[in-house]
Structures are given as structure tokens and as C-alpha cells.
Amino acid sequence: MLPVFLARLKQGHRTLPYPAEAPSLPDRFRGLPVIDATKCPDGCQKCAEACPTSAITTADGKVRLDLGRCLFCVDCLEACPEGAVAYTQDHRLATRTREDLVLDGQTLKLAESLDEKSRRLFGRSLKLRQVSAGGCNACEADLNVLGTVVFDLARFGVQFVASPRHADGIVVTGAVSENMRTALLETYAAVPAPKLVIAVGACAISGGPYIDNPEVHNGCGSLVPVDLYVPGCPPHPLTILDGLLRLLGRLEDRPRS
Amino acid sequence: MNGHSLVVLRSGQAMPRARIPQLPLPDFQRAITAGVAAGQRVAALFADAPAADGNVELYAVLADSARARLRVGRTTLDSDHFPSLTPQCPQVHLFEREIAEQYGVRPEGHPWLKPVRFHASYRPGHDAWGRSSGETPLIGATDYYRVEGDEIHEVAVGPVHAGVIEPGHFRFQCHGEHVFHLEISLGYQHRGAERTLAGGPNKRTIHTLETVAGDTSIGHATAYCQALEALAGCQVPIRAEVLRAVALELERLANHTGDLGALAGDVGFLPTAAFCGRLRGDFLNLTALLCGSRFGRGMVRPGGAMFDLDDARREQFLKCLQSAFRDVENAADLLWNSASVQARFEGTGAVSLETCLELGLVGPAARACGLECDVRQDFPWGIYRFAQVPVSTWSTGDVFARAYVRWMEIQRSVAFIREQLQGLPDGPVRADAGVPKPDHLVAVLVEGWRGEICHVALTDAAGKFARYKIVDPSFHNWTGLAIALRDQQISDFPLCNKSFNLSYCGHDL
């Protein structure tokens, strides 16, 4: 037993002081992307042409960015001759509606909390069942990470459970393969109402790199009603945590730094 | 000794398709069985249908580890039937099922001819099971193997599992706790990943490859970039080769560390489970320090690497690596020194070397059976041509061996990264990738953290992919897990499963 205690001392306390303190992310981390349209030459389409998922589109000289499709890759950065595209360090990306993910020059409207009744139900205890429906195991891995001592999801009263019958909602990852459609619908049906759906990652929101493949359903939005969208490929664990806490009304009063 | 009927080429060597020998079917099959009898392994066996209504071609890629060579050949089928090789050569069993499903040609005499991913045939009107072309196969609808008898019962698990993991269906034939047989039926993750690569390369190709198995982004991106560079005759700068290898070893470190923690968790040994859960993240964060993404997205690109490591970043990197390694060592030592852990690891889910060879297992699962195989040594590419990573093996083939091989590999990967970064060569990190040559074939092997990744690309007259074949190591190894469960307690399934930790989406494509 002694070696276990000694190891425990050696490994130290590792839980992040989040949300009390702002998280520190590596300088190359790709958070919220911004496009400075004032730098765009007339008629330039280079970022839109380079974008693998058509997350960037241009119309009438305006650039539109759909975070739900964005893979947070560097193809647009490489393609832009003017340096108009950049990633910020802002990890906060989750929204309540699909439309809020589409940026037309406006500030991203982060997720608002659930209504008061739902917050009374879920605010201090939210049990979730995860359904991977064509996910590549990156979103799944970073959902798992939330359970480690670093993020310690349980301290917020949020927990992944083994059965939909024990859950208050589902977390969907993956583009929803045709082969997982029934399993997703049945899992959703097995969760007692009222229930939540959280779509994590570009695949679950839009199909991600698999958009419009006949084998997938371009995410879960057409099959189940989504309450929270967490974009990314995959989203950073903090992005997911931020979204969950906002949904539960536990972060909304913090100003954007 | 018919190996000379196949053409010899190196991993990552492009060859005009006209030079790939076209063999009569019996010679093609004899070449495979003779190669396997001589100690070679089937790295890939796949079909292509060059014309929509034409005949199906089969391609075989054999890995001759002893001589660092690949042997490649092809044959053209003149009907929708061919005699199955599986009865003589078990390691082609899943390849033949895949060929049957994708191209509607039936390997006659296959002992286990069931769908692999439950999708319609790529050749409308040709179906190995005689289904009509409008009929969409229903996932999981197949005739499962059943053991009959008093007190025999069946346990079915999945596709949705208890944990945060990918979907798959498992059926156990049990007598009490005793497992007679486990059947694993997958396909739930099928996204059309491999199919959509035909017609590329295009702007989506690299992103598809990075998400074929999201925990192996670096591994699959490395294999793809090598294939493309070989087809285009691109010379990758040496600094980029080092950075790619560092990223690949980081991917191994993160996953192996996570696996040690998960194995500890599965036997209820919480200290190591908690420590390694955190430490896995530390290695992911190191990958993000390098390229901004914890999963290495965007790091490996045709022609080299997207991100460089300046001196200050390198110092920071090595410091973090050192501190993470020190803590992994501490966490792993607890595992090996705890009798309660060892009692659960040792002797559980053992696979014999003989079975391992018959099934053609790869990666840590094969090395845990005592098989000295590692693409980094057998078919070295990039910087591995100059810096060897010793192969880590154990001989017992059980959960302990699969865990311990991971720990040995963690130590060697850390030593390798340190050595490489201390002598990081100067120069650029990216060269012009060029364009793929038309009508060529290239086969590439890369040692991902789960084992051998094999990519085969065939270009058409315009230099586009006529066919792109992906073989994730999981494709070889899922059957190994099924066999490991025989005569075990059903309660040992999670432990055995974690000790293999295979990819569902890498298999389902």
C-alpha cells in the first residue's frame, strides 16, 4: 500500500482550477477562427475554394463561415494571400442553435442556458449516455478525457452513464452512419423525457469530412432535436466542458476575456 | 517457392501498373499460399473493378519482413465466383469477405462468408449473397454462429456500449461464465471513407485520411503522404522526416499510456488508471504544442510537415516529455509491482504464436505473442532508415504481454524522440509535393501504434486514384480478440478487449 501512497504524492494534484481561472492553451491551438473581410481583395474566393467542407462561402463580397462544418484545419490560412484568416485562442464555441454557428461577420452567440425548469432538473445533476455514430474516436477520446482527474467532470454533477434508461440526455458524435441510425434513434427513445441532445464535433453537426457521403446522414440534426452544438474536429475538452456548463447556466455571467 | 511470380518492390516504391504481373487465378493463389508458407504475410488482398461492367481484378500485397520487400501481383476474375483461399490460408478470411461484399464476387468454399460492413455491392447487379440491387443490407442481420445444448446461453452486447466508445456487436456463446465462442460483427461505423478516396487526391482527401481512425491521424496521414510522395517522386526534407516520426511516436505514447491506464481501470486498480488518464492527455498536449491539435490534425502533409519546432519550443517540448515520462514510469511500476493486478493480467486471453501467425496478427498484439515484427524495423521509412527502434516482444501472448509490450514501447519511443530532437537536422520542413504519376501503383507500410498500416494506391491515366485501399491494423487483429476470448470467463472480456484496443472505424472505413 505504501508505494501507492508515495506515487499519489509524486503524481500530485492535477485538477485544473477551471472555471475559476482561465485555462492555458498551447500557442498553436486553433480556437475560434476569424476572417477579417476588410483585407479581402475584390472577388477573391481562395479560402472558400480551399475549404475541404465548404465551411467558408462567399456571396456579395461577404465571407460566411459555418463553424458547424469547420474542421479547424489550416487550409484556408495557407490559401489566403492577405493573411485575412486567423485562429484565436478562444476555446468557447458552443451554441444552442445550428444557425448561431454560421458567422456572417457577427460575434458568435454562445450557448444560453436552459430554461429555469430544465435547470432545476439538470443544473446540478446531468447524466448523459454517449452514442458514437460514425465517430472516428477523436471526439470520443476527448469526451473520455473529461472524466480524468484533469477536468473531473463529476465535480460539476455531470456524468456519463452506462444505460440510456439512467440518462437525462445523449451526446452524439460522428456523422451518423446509416448503419447507426436505428441504434441512435432507439437509444434516444430509451431516455426518459424530458431529455437533452448534445452534438459534439463537426461530424455530428454537419457530417464533417464525410458530408454528403450516401453512407451518412450529415450528423444527427435531422434525426433528433439538438439542444447544444459543440463544433470542432475534435473539439478541445475545454470547449465541450464550456458548452455543457453554459447549457446548465453555470458560466453565463462570465464576460468574454 | 513460387515467389518470383510476383513482382518485388519496396514499401513506398511506385511502379507502373503495366509492370505488375497479371497472373492466371491458380498461379495468383499459389503465389499467395507459397509466400505465406515461406513466412510472408498478406498485408493487403483487395479487388478493383476498372470498368463499371468489366471484370473484377484482385491485387495481393505480401510483406516479406525478412528481406524488407513487398511482393505484388494481380489476377483478373472471369466470373463472379472464385475458389476461396481461406481454408488453406486463414489470414485472408476477412479480405475475401471484404472482396465479396464490395465487388459482388463470391469466394466459394469460404467457411465464414458473412458481410463485413453491411453495405450494398459497388457493382450494381452483382451481389455475393444474391440480393437484388435495390435491397439495402440491414446492419447486423446475418446468421450468427450458435452453440446448442442444455445450459448453453448467448450473451449479446452492442452496438451501443456502456462506455464512451465506438459501436460494435459482440455475441458470446457461453456455458455459465465460460465462453466457448465470441463472434464480433462490425460495420456500424461505415462512412464510405475508403470508397470516397477514388477520384482523389482532392481537398478533402487528407482530412478523410486523418479521420479514418481518429486516434491514428498521424499514422494514416503518414502512410497517405508517403504514397502520394512516391507517386509524385517528391523528396521529403530530412527535418520533416524527423518531425513526422516524432509526431508518430507521440501518438504511440499517448495511446499506449491511455491503454495502460484503461487496463488498470478494468481490473479495478484505480491509482494507475487515474494517473495514466491524465498522462495520456499530457502526450496529447505535447502533440498540440507541436501542431495545435491534440490529435496531430494538420501536422503531416504531402511534401513534409506543416509545423516546425524552433529551439525554444524544442526545449519546452523535451522538458514536458521528460516530466510526463517520469510520471508514466511511476504509474507503470505500480502495475507491475501489484500482485492483484498481475494475478488478473497473467494468463488471461492468451493467444499462441501459432495462432498469431495463422491469423496474420500485427503490432503490439503480435509482438506480445513473441513475433518479432515491426514495420519500423522490417520496412524502415523516413528517419527510421537511420535510427532504429528496438523491437519489443514478450512471449506469453496474454493480457500481461500486451500490456508489458506497450510499456517497453513507451520507453523506446521516449528515447527515440529525445535522440531525434537533440540532433534535429537543419533545413526546410516542406517540399513541393508534386503531382502523382499516371497509371502507377504504390504500396506503403507504416507502424502505427496499433500495428501495421497498409495503404495501396492505384492511379489512373490522369494521375487520379483509380482505387485507394486502406488496411488498418485492426482489420488483421479483430479476429485475434475473438480467439483470445475462447475458454475465458465472460467477465474477462473488457480486459481482453482493452488489451487489444482495436479501432471500429478503422475497420469499418
Residue A189 belongs to some domain of the structure: yes
Smallest Cα–Cα separation from B331: which of A93, A221, A149?
A149
Provide the CA B96 distance to its chain's centre, in angstroms: 17
Instruction: Please report residues of A whose CB lies closer than 8 A to that of B163.
Output: 130, 144, 160, 162
Q: Which residues contact B263 (CB under 8 A, 6 or more apart)?
A: B335, B345, B399, B403, B495, B498, B499
Q: How many CA atoms lie within 13 A of B425 on its CB side?
A: 14
Return the H-helix or E-strand segment holding B72.
Answer: strand B69-76
The answer to whether A239 touches A93, Cβ cutoff 8 Å, is yes
Smallest Cα–Cα separation from A247: which of A95, A107, A138?
A95
Structure-block grid coordinates of residue B5: 511470380
The mean of the pLDDT values for chain B is 95
Read off the pLDDT band of A43 (50, 70, 90). confident
When divided into structural domains, chain A yields a total of: 1
The answer to whether A240 touches A130, Cβ cutoff 8 Å, is no
Quick one: what percent of chain B has pLDDT higher than 70? 99
Q: Which of B3-7, B260-264, B391-395 has the lowest mean pLDDT?
A: B3-7
Q: Across the interface, do A132 and B164 touch by the CB < 8 Å criterion?
A: yes
Nearest CB neighbour to A140, from listed B166, B193, B274: B166
Distance from CA of B125 to the nearest CA of A (A): 19
Instruction: Please report residues of A whose CB lies closer than 8 A to that of B277.
Output: 145, 147-150
Distance from CA of B384 to the nearest CA of A (A): 27
Q: Across the interface, do A50 and B191 touch by the CB < 8 Å criterion?
A: no
Res A208: pLDDT: 96
- What letter would DSSP give residue A227? S
Residue A57 belongs to some domain of the structure: no
Q: Which residues contact B7 (CB under 8 A, 6 or more apart)?
A: B15, B19, B20, B21, B71, B72, B73
- What letter would DSSP give residue A114? P
Smallest Cα–Cα separation from B483: which of B181, B141, B89?
B181
The answer to whether A198 touches A169, Cβ cutoff 8 Å, is yes
- The pLDDT tens digits of the residues spanning B211-235 come to 999 999 999 999 999 999 999 999 9
Laid out side by side, the sheet with A158-160 consists of: A158-160, A126-132, A169-173, A196-200, A228-230
- The pLDDT tens digits of the residues spanning B406-465 come to 999 999 999 999 999 999 999 999 999 999 999 999 999 999 999 999 999 999 999 999
Kindly report whether the peptide bond that precedes residue B390 is cis, defined as omega within 30 degrees of 0: no
Quick one: what percent of chain A has pLDDT higher than 90? 85
Nearest CB neighbour to B215, from listed A25, A141, A162: A141
Rounded Cα distance between B2 and A133, Å, is 45
Instruction: Please report residues of B whose CB lies closer than 8 A to that of A11.
Output: 275, 278, 327, 330-331
Q: How many CA atoms lie within 13 A of B376 on its CB side?
A: 27
Nearest CB neighbour to B160, from listed A3, A148, A187: A187
Residue A235 belongs to some domain of the structure: yes
Structure-block grid coordinates of residue B239: 527535418
Q: Give the CA dihedral A61, A62, A68, A74, nearest 10 degrees.
A: 70
Distance from CA of B330 to the nearest CA of A (A): 7
Rounded Cα distance between B264 and B276, Å, is 9
Q: Residues of B90-105 as b/e, b for ≥16 C-beta within 10 angstroms?
A: bbbbbbbbbbbbbbbb
Q: Across the interface, do A28 and B290 touch by the CB < 8 Å criterion?
A: yes
Other beta carbons less than 10 A from residue B5's beta carbon: 16
Distance from CA of B270 to the nearest CA of A (A): 10
Nearest CB neighbour to A4, from listed B189, B258, B334: B334
**Closest-approach residue (CA) in chain B for A10:** B327
Is the predicted ipTM greater than 0.90, yes or no? yes
Res B323: pLDDT: 96
Better-predicted residue by pLDDT, B361 or B160? B361
Read off the pLDDT band of B507 (50, 70, 90). very high
Report the CATH number of the B195-508 domain.
1.10.645.10
**Closest-approach residue (CA) in chain A for B211:** A136
Read off the pLDDT band of A252 (50, 70, 90). low
Instruction: Please report residues of A whose CB lies closer than 8 A to that of B337.
Output: 3
Residue A145: pLDDT over 70? yes
Rounded Cα distance between B213 and B266, Å, is 23
Laid out side by side, the sheet with B152-157 consists of: B152-157, B169-175, B178-185
Q: What is the CATH number of the domain that holds A241?
A: 3.40.50.12280
**Closest-approach residue (CA) in chain A for B306:** A74
**Closest-approach residue (CA) in chain B for A217:** B191
Rounded Cα distance between B278 and B295, Å, is 15
Strands B81-83 and B106-108: parallel
Q: Give the CA dihedral B311, B316, B320, B326, nearest 10 degrees.
A: 70
Report the CATH number of the B3-108 domain.
3.30.460.80
How many CB pairs below 8 A link A and B?
191
Instruction: Please report residues of A whose CB lies closer than 8 A to that of B331.
Output: 7, 11
Residue A99 belongs to some domain of the structure: no
Instruction: Please report residues of B whose CB lies closer than 8 A to that of A5.
Output: none
Residue A25: pLDDT over 60? yes
Distance from CA of A8 to the nearest CA of B (A): 7
Q: Across the interface, do B191 and A177 touch by the CB < 8 Å criterion?
A: yes
Mutate to test the interface with A, among B164, B290, B504 (most CBs of A within 10 A): B164
Q: What is the mean pLDDT of residues B384-400?
A: 95
Res A22: pLDDT: 85
Read off the pLDDT band of B257 (50, 70, 90). very high
- The pLDDT tens digits of the residues spanning B446-462 come to 999 999 999 999 999 99
Smallest Cα–Cα separation from A165: which of A189, A184, A145, A197?
A189
* Identity of the residue numbered B120: A
**Closest-approach residue (CA) in chain A for B207:** A209
Rounded Cα distance between B345 and B358, Å, is 24
For residue A148, the enclosing domain spans 116-247
Q: Across the interface, do A130 and B189 touch by the CB < 8 Å criterion?
A: no
Q: Across the interface, do B207 and A209 touch by the CB < 8 Å criterion?
A: yes
Residue A139: pLDDT over 70? yes
Q: Give the CA dihedral A237, A238, A241, A246, nearest 10 degrees.
A: -150
Q: Across the interface, do A11 and B307 touch by the CB < 8 Å criterion?
A: no
How far lies B260's CA from each of B128, B211, B216, B406, B498, in Å? 42, 24, 17, 8, 9
Instruction: Please report residues of A whose CB lies closer than 8 A to that of B284.
Output: 145
Instruction: Please report residues of B whose CB lies closer than 8 A to that of A163.
Output: 162
The answer to whether B46 touches B58, Cβ cutoff 8 Å, is yes
Mutate to test the interface with A, among B169, B189, B190 (most CBs of A within 10 A): B189
Structure-block grid coordinates of residue B15: 511502379
Cβ neighbourhood burial of A174 (10 Å; 0-12, 13-18, 19+): buried
Q: Across the interface, do B277 and A175 touch by the CB < 8 Å criterion?
A: no
Residue A204: pLDDT over 80? yes
Grid cell 432535436 in the structure block, residue: A225
Res B2: pLDDT: 42
Residue B3: pLDDT over 50? no
Q: Which of B152-166, B323-337, B356-370 has the lowest mean pLDDT?
A: B152-166
**Closest-approach residue (CA) in chain B for A151:** B278
Q: Across the interface, do A213 and B288 touch by the CB < 8 Å criterion?
A: no
The answer to whether B498 touches B350, Cβ cutoff 8 Å, is no
Name residue B468's beta-bridge partners.
Answer: B457
Instruction: Please report residues of B whose CB lies closer than 8 A to that of A10.
Output: 327, 330
- The pLDDT tens digits of the residues spanning B67-82 come to 999 999 999 999 999 9
Residue A132: φ, ψ to 5°: -90, 115
Angle A32-A33-A35 from CA coordinates, rounded to 5°: 145
Residue A253: pLDDT over 70? no
Res B1: pLDDT: 39
Q: What is the mean pLDDT of residues B390-404?
A: 96
- The pLDDT tens digits of the residues spanning B155-208 come to 999 898 888 999 999 999 999 999 999 999 999 999 999 999 999 999 999 999
Is the C-alpha dihedral spanning B291, B456, B41, B472 positive or negative? positive
Res B162: pLDDT: 86
Distance from CA of B221 to the nearest CA of A (A): 14
For chain B, which residues make up each domain, given as ranges?
3-108, 195-508
Rounded Cα distance between B375 and B452, Å, is 6
